[in-house]
Amino acid sequence: MFWKTSLVLLALSLATAGTGVDRKIGISIPLKPRAVLTKDDGTFDHERAAFETYRTEVKHRQNLINLERNVGRIAFSEGAQIKDFIPIPSFKLTKRQGVALTDQDDVEWTGPITIGSNAQKLTINFDTGSSDLWVPNAHDCYGCEGHNTYDSKTSKTSKSVNGTFTIFYGDGSTVSGPIFKDTVSIAGVKATNQTFSAVTELSQSFNGDPTDGILGLAYPSLSNLKASPYFQTAFAQKAIPKNVFAFKLATQGSELFLGGTNSKLFKGAIEQHPVKTGIGFWQIAKGSIHQGGKAVVSGFETIIDSGTTIMYGPPDQVKKFYDSVPGAELYDENNGFYSFPCKSIPKAGFSWGGKVWAVTPQNFNLGETTQGSGQCVGALSGTDLGLGNNVWLLGDSFMKNVYTVFSFANNTVGYAMLK
Ligand SMILES: *[C@@H]1O[C@H](CO)[C@@H](O)[C@H](O)[C@H]1NC(C)=O
Ligand SMILES: *[C@@H]1O[C@H](CO)[C@@H](O)[C@H](O)[C@H]1NC(C)=O
Ligand SMILES: *[C@@H]1O[C@H](CO)[C@@H](O)[C@H](O)[C@H]1NC(C)=O
């Protein structure tokens, strides 16, 4: 089934303080279904991919607005710019209401992230590419149908906060609403008085999205709410033993580990790279992309973003990559997608001066352009996201190949081999 096959389950674990051993609490929570850009018949889901790109652009445009306000343009990477307007894709996004969830899926969709004294359950997208928490509002929400919502009136620990949270979308719609403080709990890890928004407008680009809201795991300087993000609050309140979290993203057995790393999921050393601090993103320098064993573009920076499905690079640099792939050609100029012969999927990999971390052919290939065409679309798009003229954005298509460690303690991003 469409969603079921692409569902990423997120088992949330944490290391308990004081015991000296990592103890898995063993609560599984579902994350946004990923790799949904291939249809059941094996072809590329062009509409969905265009909307993913659109949402990625909107998210990072908002990040830059927040960063400019919180830190100033000094924090921008070279060439970064807040775009005036992001055109919505010309595709019509069809709702996927036809997809019936079985009982088993229902269980999986029940997320143990809870908010409030009465533990209201919501399903959350854990996003290393932003820093705020927002969920749909139970009252007067436009566009929240089909989502779990937060009801401030029934939680005894809910407090109103002055102001409004707003993310602008290119079609004039927003994700916006009032701000609250309440207890936010993930697998028993509580952040008390956590600031978040319960939005009363949900842009139509969230139609059919099985997650209710987003929980940002980047640095506070990207925060629209100017608030301590969930992880920072929970760490400051000593609910998390180490200022580190790690992800395994895969078709099965995916896990976010709060407070350290889960040695059961990776082997070998963790290769660590310093984050450029002060700019808010999990951004690391000295990146290069390899194709067929050779570096084809070098010296760029990369943002590691679990909330983005595919990978993006500046159009001229991504063109260089595909120029090295026999038979590759531009497929969709508007969204920067390229195609290549399905029988020779590029052997892509990224390096930051150490090992080359390969992107497997399954993770690189988004499917055939049309059935029988023999040309497949790559999970690397040449799109200017406004993040800088030498900045790449690596989402799930990259993260699925490695164990990724995010350390606020050392300000590093680390990679290890998956077991
Ligand atoms: C909230 O907003 C009101 C009206 O603008 C203002 O009077 C009040 O001081 C604000 N409260 C806080 C805590 O900022
Ligand atoms: C949360 O806020 C309430 C008052 O608004 C305060 O009494 C309580 O100490 C706060 N809790 C923490 C952990 O900061
Ligand atoms: C921080 O860096 C030190 C020295 O490289 C290392 O021993 C430690 O494991 C790192 N800690 C975290 C939490 O990443």
Q: Indicate whether 66 pLDDT > 60.
A: yes
How many residues in the chain? 419
> Which residue owns the Cα nearest ligand 2 atom 4?
193
Q: Are 76 and 385 in contact (CB under 8 A)?
A: no
Instruction: Tell me if 2 is assigned to some domain.
Output: no
Residues 123 and 269 in one domain: no
What's residue 92's pLDDT?
53
Q: Whose CA is nearest to atom 2 of ligand 3?
A: 410
- Position 371 scores a pLDDT of 94
Ligand 3 pocket check for 409: Cβ under 6 Å: yes
Residue with CA closest to ligand 3 atom 9: 410
CATH number of residue 225's parent domain:
2.40.70.10
Tell whether 343 is covered by a domain.
yes
What pairing do the DSSP bridges indicate for beta strands 255-258 and 403-407?
Answer: unpaired
Cβ neighbourhood burial of 96 (10 Å; 0-12, 13-18, 19+): middle
Ligand 3 centroid, distance to 410 Cα (angstroms): 6
pLDDT of residue 255: 81
154 CA from centroid of ligand 2 (Å) = 18
For the segment 27-33, the average pLDDT, to the nearest whole number, is 40
Identify whether 139 is part of a domain.
yes
Q: For residue 33, tell me if it sits in a domain.
A: yes
410 Cβ closer than 6 Å to some ligand 3 atom: yes
Which atom in ligand 3 lies closest to the alpha carbon of residue 407?
Answer: 14
* Residues 413 and 308 grouped into a single domain: yes
Cβ partners under 8 Å of residue 172, min gap 6: none
Contact call for residues 165 and 132 (beta carbons, < 8 A)? yes
The share of the chain scoring above pLDDT 70, in percent, equals: 85
Same structural domain, 137 and 226: yes
Query: Quick one: what percent of the chain has pLDDT higher than 90?
Result: 63
- Asked which of 214, 230, 258 is the last residue of a domain, the reply is 258
Question: Which pTM value belongs to this model?
Answer: 0.89
- Which ligand has the nearest atom to the CA of 245? 3
Which atom of ligand 3 has the smallest separation from the CA of 409?
A: 13
Asked if pLDDT for residue 25 goes beyond 90, the answer is no
Say yes or no: CB of residue 192 within 6 Å of ligand 2. yes
Tens digit of each residue's pLDDT (9 = 90 or more) over 40-51:
888 999 988 898
Range of 278's domain?
265-418
Gap between the Cα atoms of 143 and 199, Å rounded: 10
How far, CA to CA in Å, does 397 sit from each of 119, 191, 306, 365, 394?
33, 30, 9, 9, 7
Whether 231 and 287 map to the same domain: the answer is no
Show which residues are catalytic: 127, 305
Query: Does residue 371 share a domain with residue 341?
Result: yes
What confidence category does residue 280 fall into, taking pLDDT thresholds of 50, 70 and 90?
A: very high
